[in-house]
Amino acid sequence: MVQFQPLLRLPTSEELPCSDETPVDNELQNLIPNLLLNILDLIWPERQDWFFAVDMGVYYLYENKRQPVVTPDGFLSIGVPRSTSERGRLSYVLWEENNIPPVLAIEIVSKHYNDEYSDKKEKYAKLGVKYYLIYNPNYWKRDKHQPFELYRLEQGEYILQSTEPYWIPEIDLGIGRGTVNYVKLKREWLLWYDKEGNAYPIPKEVVEQQCQRAEQEHQRAEQEHQRAEQQQQRAEQEHQRAEQQQQRAEQEHQRAERAEKAARALQEKQQQTVTQLFSLGLTIEQIATACNITSTQVREILGQP
């Protein structure tokens, strides 16, 4: 476990090398932890209490003695500032980080074995790293281990865990393997998982999902616009039909008025004709025959019973 002795004169991060200067011998040693970092940036966009480093030296004390730098391929610390300066951390120095060790250290086993299962495991235990993940996708048979081995520190000893994705309650995330297409490499990668066992999307997938959502929103907007236009067209058609009905009603009214006027004119003419013929001495029957009306109508016009 990390110990801190305030009376010691300890160097600052400015005075310490940024790593153990051991070069990586496989690009996956950088790509895999960088992918985990990029996904974390998407999962925790507002959080400022975490730090994930790739190939950065970690300095610590053990039994009041400064230990040689250890450089995980990737590590995550919780409860520390996301950033300490504009240029970022040069290294991770525990006595400058409130003695908070990483909660998770990750090693990617490569062609040249670097004591991931022995010396580094002991160092991380002394450092106080709660979870230690060894990812060995290509050489696990050579090393007689499993491709994915996650250890939990219990009473100073690492105990191999059996579940995958493995849920880490301290960070409220799981970690495991999954096949995705990242940097044009479709292969197995380490990914973060939610509590239901669903892998969080990688940045490319997030961009694609955002593009799909934007396209769907655009399509919905176009559909809404089309529906609005159709409704407007239907409203205009209804308005036109209403105007046509009103015009027909007005035409019917005008025809009715003309018919009524013609009927009144005919009636007045009949009355004049009947009166004139009666004054000339024609009988009611003769007048009815001449005007093509009934005798009763003639009497009504003349006012006779």
Q: Are residues 172 and 250 in the same domain?
A: no
- Tell me which of 165, 200, 235 is where a domain ends: 200
Residue 7 counted as domain residue: no
Q: What is the pLDDT of residues 139-195, one digit of tens each?
A: 999 999 999 999 999 999 999 999 999 999 999 999 999 999 998 899 999 999 999
Q: Is 52 helix (H, G, I), strand (E, B) or coil?
A: strand
**Residue 1 scores a pLDDT above 80:** no
Q: Are residues 42 and 174 in the same domain?
A: yes
Q: Which contacts (CB < 8 Å, 24+ apart) does range 187-194 have?
A: 188/137, 189/32, 189/35, 190/32, 190/33, 190/35, 190/36, 190/106, 190/133, 190/135, 191/35, 191/36, 191/39, 191/165, 192/36, 192/39, 192/40, 192/43, 193/165, 193/167
Mean pLDDT computed over 214-229? 81
pLDDT level of residue 281 (50, 70, 90 thresholds): confident
**Residue 273 scores a pLDDT above 60:** yes
Residue 225 counted as domain residue: yes
Q: Which residues contact 162 (CB under 8 A, 6 or more apart)?
A: none
Q: Are residues 250 and 119 in the same domain?
A: no
Residue 12 counted as domain residue: no
59 within 8 A of 69, measured Cβ to Cβ: yes
Q: Are residues 101 and 172 in the same domain?
A: yes
Q: Are residues 256 and 140 in the same domain?
A: no
* Structure confidence at residue 206 (pLDDT): 59
Query: Is the pTM for the entire model greater than 0.75?
Result: no
Q: Are residues 67 and 194 in the same domain?
A: yes
Q: Are residues 109 and 167 in the same domain?
A: yes
Q: Are residues 194 and 281 in the same domain?
A: no
**Residue 7 scores a pLDDT above 50:** no
Q: Are residues 164 and 231 in the same domain?
A: no
The token duo for 146 is: 């499993």
- Tell me which of 176, 200, 224 is where a domain ends: 200
Among residues 14, 40, 183, the alpha carbon closest in space to that of 106 is found at: 40
Q: Are residues 32 and 160 in the same domain?
A: yes
Q: Is 4 helix (H, G, I), strand (E, B) or coil?
A: coil
Q: Are residues 222 and 157 in the same domain?
A: no
d(CA 1, CA 33): 25
Residue 6 counted as domain residue: no
- Tell me which of 200, 222, 251 is where a domain ends: 200
Q: Are residues 180 and 284 in the same domain?
A: no
Q: What CATH number has the domain bearing residue 53? A: 3.90.1570
Which range marks the domain in which residue 278 is found? 214-302
